[in-house]
Amino acid sequence: MGRNARTLEDLIERPDEAAGTALDLLFESRPELKDRYDGRSLLRAREDMAHHVRRLAQSGLPGGEAAFRDYISWLKVLFRGLRLPDDLVEDSLRCAGRAAAAVLGEEDARAIRDRADRASELYARMDPDAEGYGSGGPPPGTAVHAYVRSLVDGQRDRARMVVDAELSRGVSIRSLYLDLFQPAQREVGRLWHVREISVAQEHFATAATQYLMSELYPRLIAQSRTNGRVLVAACAQGELHEVGIRMVADFFQAEGWDSRYFGANLPADSLLAEVERLRPDLVALSATLPENVRWIARSIEALRSRDPRRPAVLVGGFPFLIAEGLWKEIGADATGSDCEKAVEAGTRLVTGTPGPKE
Ligand code: B12
């Protein structure tokens, strides 16, 4: 590829053309497949290819190696549930690699092609039961199990009874966030992934958990004393997973911060404008999808070009949990693996002393 080579970032943003080429390559190598696809399934196949291309491109950016390995194990669990033959997925990954490589500069192209080939070998060897995604689940008899069962059955009030039972045996609201809502949400994700529940059941569960968090919120912050510090908390642009950063924002508020929570998908320009307007002590940014980390990296760059020291920036979410040191690589000041650790790290950054624990 010559002067018109595309960048990895560009490929993440616009993967469709390469996905189309990848599908053509797949049909060329396996002509028998062509007749098996109709309008709808062809569209699905294109979407899957676009996803491979996006994740392959992301694998060349900070945190990408760990995220890509995770993607392969995620695919194995998902496609086993859909009964997609392994060799078809392996060929698809190779074709995605070739199509992506064809539009990239030489160095990126070589790396992507190699990674796609390795990914396809890894996919062949991977045991979905031994990987984090497909296995596990809370044991019956636990509050998490009862809570998830209630939500999967569409019974929000029954889930509330689980919460009430926990409260009456002395469990704190902080522990409910950390030890009930958080693992329950992850379990809901697992159930969706292994095709035990529908998208609608997952949506219901998340909406109900957010509803119950809102009910508990006044009690969570009841003891808090204002400390005069301001936090801006937001999800990366394009990021729809907002429960984690909401928990982070709530925990800061409970420690007396004026916590400005902006929810999902905050456009980069809006973040910068709010930071300019509010002059917060700390900015907390969250991503769940690895391809959204680049938005956080760019935002940090933009913030630092205005002032190299302020505000302090805390980052977190799934990509930071699986790639140690990623936070540093993209120029953040710290990370935290959950909402409690987020407050500890943020307080340390801003005051030089660790924040109070529960
Ligand atoms: C609910 C949900 C959704 C909802 C989100 C709705 C909402 N209002 O938030 C919807 C339906 C929109 C959704 C969509 C998708 N989802 Co989804 N989703 C989930 C689910 C089930 C729960 C997320 C959650 O609430 N987690 C609980 C919170 C508390 O955990 P947390 O986010 O990790 O946050 C904690 C820490 O990470 C940390 N933290 C978080 N942010 C920050 C920030 C800072 C600064 C710090 C310090 C710490 C910190 O503290 C938090 C609290 O302790 C997860 C399952 C899972 N394992 O999480 C899948 C999951 C994340 N989704 C997944 C996928 C694939 C998708 C989609 C791509 C599906 C699709 N094909 O459309 C889309 C992508 C949408 C997008 N562009 O963002 C996959 C991701 C796999 C991967 N690694 O890439 C998961 C893991 C499900 C699975 N097992 O397959 N999803």
Q: Which CATH number fits domain 143-220: 1.10.10.10, 1.10.3720.10, 3.40.718.10, 1.10.1240.10?
A: 1.10.1240.10
- The predicted-structure confidence for 24-66, as pLDDT tens digits, reads as follows 999 999 988 888 888 888 899 999 999 999 999 999 999 998 9
Q: What is the pLDDT of residue 114?
A: 92
HEC readout, 134-194: CCCCCCCCCHHHHHHHHHHCCCHHHHHHHHHHHHHCCCCHHHHHHHHHHHHHHHHHHHHHC
- The predicted-structure confidence for 146-170, as pLDDT tens digits, reads as follows 999 999 999 999 999 999 999 999 9
**Which of 288, 292, 321 for mutating ligand 1's site (highest number of atoms within 8 Å of CB)?**
288
Q: What is the pLDDT of residue 19?
A: 97
Q: How far apart are CA 196 and CA 120, in angstroms?
A: 26
Q: What is the pLDDT of residue 83?
A: 87
Percent of the chain whose pLDDT exceeds 70: 96
Q: Whose CA is nearest to atom 3 of ligand 1?
A: 241
Cα–Cα–Cα angle for 111, 113, 119, nearest 5°? 100
Percent of the chain whose pLDDT exceeds 90: 84
Name the residue ranges covered by the structural domains of the chain.
8-130, 143-220, 230-351
Q: How confident is the model at residue 203 (pLDDT cuts 50, 70, 90)?
A: very high
* Ligand 1 binding pocket includes 193 (Cβ within 6 Å): yes
Same fold, 143-220 and 230-351: no
* Ligand 1 binding pocket includes 245 (Cβ within 6 Å): yes
Q: How confident is the model at residue 357 (pLDDT cuts 50, 70, 90)?
A: very low
CATH superfamily of 230-351: Cobalamin-binding domain (3.40.50.280)
Q: How confident is the model at residue 353 (pLDDT cuts 50, 70, 90)?
A: confident
Which CATH number does 8-130 carry? 1.10.490.20
CA of 75 to the centre of ligand 1 (A): 16
- The predicted-structure confidence for 233-268, as pLDDT tens digits, reads as follows 999 999 999 999 999 999 999 999 999 999 999 999
